[in-house]
Amino acid sequence: MPDYSYIARELSGQQTVGVLTAGTEREAIGQLAARNLFPLEIKIAETHKAQEASKKGRVGGRVLAVFYTQLSDLLKAGVPLLRSLTILEKQAPNATLKAVVSEIRADVADGTRLAEALRKHPQIFSDLVISMIRAGEEGSFLEDSLTRIADFTEHQEDMKGRVIGAMIYPVILLTLGTIIVTVMMVKFVPQFEPTFAALRDAGELPWATTALVGFSDLIRYYGLFVLIGLIALGYFLNRYLKSDSGRYNFDRVWLKLYGVGSVTKTLGIARFCRVLGTLLRNGVPLLASLRIAKDAVGNRVLTEAIAEAAEHVSSGKSLARPLGDCKHFPNDVIEMIAVGEEANNLEQVLINVADKMERTTNRQLDLVVRLLEPAMLVVMAGVILFVVVALMLPILKTSQIA
């Protein structure tokens, strides 16, 4: 149970401070009343907050999807919210989720609404989830909101898994190629040094062999410094990318890359449409939905373009025209959004657009991966061929001289 620090007033009027242990803030107040103390301020002790923060980690999307589904099923079965949270706390398969649900249950027991209790854990629950649950509480359709959140979370995890799965094979090829070339440079090339010495002294060593030997010496004698330099470069590049300007510049360049940029843009727009449509379907106002959906895109360039469009929407214009002016949304998507606004069915149209664009993204991903695999094989074969030719040329020249 958490520790609570308090400031209270005694019957004599004198103030007193201290720390007590209680399950909830209400229990802490009851303990003070039993001591004839009138509480002026009660809050969770900072030491307890630090301990809890250090214990908390990440919770996977699929684990959260199961949590939302189970909570929805319990509420549909008529189980009260507090009792449902108690059951889910006992059944939680994740230690972090168990601790978080325990705190949420305590807050709900103190009279806090579920959305506000979730808001205290931004590392677990996103603004999208909180907004949909708040709309469900206000509109008396919390169970349906939880079901839609579970479906959305599961869908997002499927998309993430598909992208990661598509990149596994190219990453393995790149890693194996780097290891093979490094081993050849460090172990294999130096064995030919005696053969190269005579040709080097005569000035007849081929340029390819000279470059190969130089690269081998660089790795052998200065490899550690090169590695330290790469680590330092990666550290400073990571810090730069965490800045607003660095992230924006990286996203802008990323969008311009052949193949990768189109996939990134399509995936970002699909995510925006799905989040916006899901929020609108759950009764969240358009402007609040736009604020949340733009941050779900995952690309600063697209996010800023959507933010500018949202400013025009707030001045009374339709959504389709400002999105079309930002030049990042395809014409067919803009036309479908315009039709959805005219038919007063924008939320369903946005979800349909997201489904269509995600199918397009899957095809683009398959194409990029299919092109990437042979390209990496050709590069690896070219590097190995260069090494072999650079090693064989001096041997052939030596045999001709002999």
Domains plus CATH for the chain? 3-54 (no CATH), 57-155 (1.20.81.30), 164-402 (1.20.81.30)
Q: What's residue 71's pLDDT?
A: 92
Q: What's residue 127's pLDDT?
A: 77
pLDDT tier at 46 (50, 70, 90 boundaries)? Answer: very low
C-alpha torsion 337→339→343→347, nearest 10: -20
Residue 175 pLDDT > 80: yes
pLDDT-above-90 percentage for the chain: 9
Q: What's residue 3's pLDDT?
A: 66
CA distances, 243 to each of 106, 124, 232, 234, 246 (Å): 37, 23, 17, 14, 5
Looking at residues 89-103, what average pLDDT do you find? 86
Q: What's residue 288's pLDDT?
A: 82
Contact 110, 25 (CB under 8 A): yes
pLDDT tier at 21 (50, 70, 90 boundaries)? Answer: confident
Beta bridge partners of 4: 20, 44
pLDDT mean across residues, the chain: 82
Task: Report pTM.
Answer: 0.61
Q: What's residue 47's pLDDT?
A: 42
Looking at residues 320-344, what average pLDDT do you find? 86
Contact 346, 334 (CB under 8 A): no
**More reliable by pLDDT, 365 or 61:** 61
CA distances, 22 to each of 105, 153, 238, 349 (Å): 14, 35, 43, 50
Q: What's residue 50's pLDDT?
A: 38
pLDDT tier at 248 (50, 70, 90 boundaries)? Answer: confident
Residue 330 pLDDT > 60: yes
User: In what helix (H) or strand (E) does residue 311 lie, and over which residues does it extend?
Assistant: helix 300-314
Q: From CA 106, how far away is CA 100, in angstroms rounded?
A: 10
- Burial (CB count <10 Å: 0-12, 13-18, 19+), residue 241: middle
Q: What's residue 149's pLDDT?
A: 86
